Amino acid sequence: MTIANDTTKLAVRALKHFTAGTTDQAPGISDLPVAAYLDEDRFKREFEAIFLRKPQGILLSIEVPEPGDYVARTYLGKPLLVVRGKDGVARVFLNVCRHRGARVCAEGMGSASRFSCPYHAWTYDREGKLIGVSGASTFGDMDKSTLGLTQLPSQEAAGVIWATLTPGAQFDIDDWLGSMRHQLELLRLRDCVVFSQRTIPSPGWKVTMDGYLEAYHHDTVHADTLSKHTIGNLLVHDIHGHHQILTMARRNLPELADLPEAEWQASNYLRRIYCTFPNFQVSGIVGGYFLISQILPGDCATQSVTIQTILTGKTPETSEQMAAAAAFRDMAYDAVEVEDYPIGFGIQAGLASGANKHFVIGRNEPGLQHYHKTVAELSA
């Protein structure tokens, strides 16, 4: 199926919902215990099983496009060094010297042919091999081939570098993504350009994730931003194994009712959010813009941070293009930081009040139901 045909079918489904005043629904209402958001033992079990053992989208391929390009970042408490080798392969290492544990690269991004530990100047190449030991003649005999940087299992697919944070926890990216891989490949993220990136504090992981998984709140929370463009409480929901795609209808959707289907430019009437479990969201916007959101749990159940990355289809060159990209960035950032997250922090503060023992997840919130069922399944 081509992306055009796929999008047209989505538009047909969305238009039927709009005409009928309906939305895709789960089979029934579900209850979710408030303890799922608060219990620290449960959080530790889920964090270990999911965030340390399952693959995640760590970095976009375009963040390390050329051999020697690297990003050093603390990710879920792990010091990571992602670097593209001279062979073109992107590798994910623990940013920890094998001698005494110092970080071999300061946090940030750049390009380098080698990485030298600031403590005792042990040096590693772009493939993580130990290639230099200062004072080697006095240090003593050792097998340098066994002392390269500790590499984490990783694979590159659909313009994303996927990795697990536990050494030796191997995975097959095709098995993990399943049909979601094809959907992500259609986005051609490798052809995009990073326009801006930031990291912001966010409520607990689950409270934060919930806000990304439904359209029920759009008209109330985002009246001044997203709701101007997107119809609230209208969702086309598709499951791809552990992952899911949420398709929302733009305000211009009713125009399609007066056009022959053969003349539809369906992508101009939809907004799609690609939710790759457990925490990598890609929101595709008309005009070639993408918002990438990575929700990273903190040290406890009530804290997280969000990495937000704005992509453009090409590098803005004219003042008009720069202004358009900046306007999209500002709207996306405001929708999250000014509108969504204050409510999320309020929810987080009220969880332990005793007002609720369970939350009721509606039939019109199938994305939430699927996500929480997946968490339970993979952490059992």
Does residue 78 lie in a domain region? yes
With H, G, I as helix, E, B as strand and everything else as coil, classify residue 378.
Answer: helix
Does residue 87 lie in a domain region? yes
Residues 323 and 310 placed together within one structural domain of the fold = yes
Residues 194 and 148 placed together within one structural domain of the fold = no
Does residue 180 lie in a domain region? no
| Residue 227: per-residue pLDDT | 84
Does residue 179 lie in a domain region? no
Residues 152 and 62 placed together within one structural domain of the fold = yes
Which segments of 266-376 are extended strands (E)?
270-276, 280-285, 289-297, 304-312, 358-361
Domain count, the chain: 2
| Residue 1: per-residue pLDDT | 41
pTM confidence score? 0.95
- Residue 66's Cα: distance from chain center in Å? 22
Residues 202 and 345 placed together within one structural domain of the fold = yes
In angstroms, the CA 96 to CA 203 distance is: 29
Among 170, 197, 225, the domain boundary falls at 170
Among 170, 203, 227, the domain boundary falls at 170
Residues ≥6 apart with Cβ < 8 Å to 361: 26, 29, 30, 31, 32, 368, 369, 372
CA angle in degrees (0–180, nearest 5) for 267-184-155 = 165
Residues 210 and 318 placed together within one structural domain of the fold = yes
Which H or E element spans position 16?
helix 3-20
CATH code of residue 75 = 2.102.10.10
The segments of the chain whose pLDDT lies below 50 read 1
C-alpha radius of gyration, the chain, whole number:
22
Residues 256 and 157 placed together within one structural domain of the fold = no
Q: Domain residues for 320? A: 3-53+188-379
Does residue 372 lie in a domain region? yes
Contacts 24+ apart (CB under 8 A), 352-359: 352/38, 356/34, 357/33, 357/34, 358/31, 358/32, 358/33, 358/34, 359/31, 359/32, 359/33, 359/34
| Residue 4: per-residue pLDDT | 59
Contact yes or no for 372/359 (Cβ under 8 A):
no
CATH code of residue 32 = 3.90.380.10
Does residue 202 lie in a domain region? yes
Does residue 281 lie in a domain region? yes
Residues 350 and 245 placed together within one structural domain of the fold = yes
Residues 259 and 366 placed together within one structural domain of the fold = yes
Among all chains, which residue has been given the structure tokens 């925490």? 279
Residues 74 and 138 placed together within one structural domain of the fold = yes
Does residue 178 lie in a domain region? no
How would you class 147 by CB atoms within 10 Å of its CB: exposed for 0-12, middle for 13-18, buried for 19 or more? middle
Among 112, 136, 170, the domain boundary falls at 170
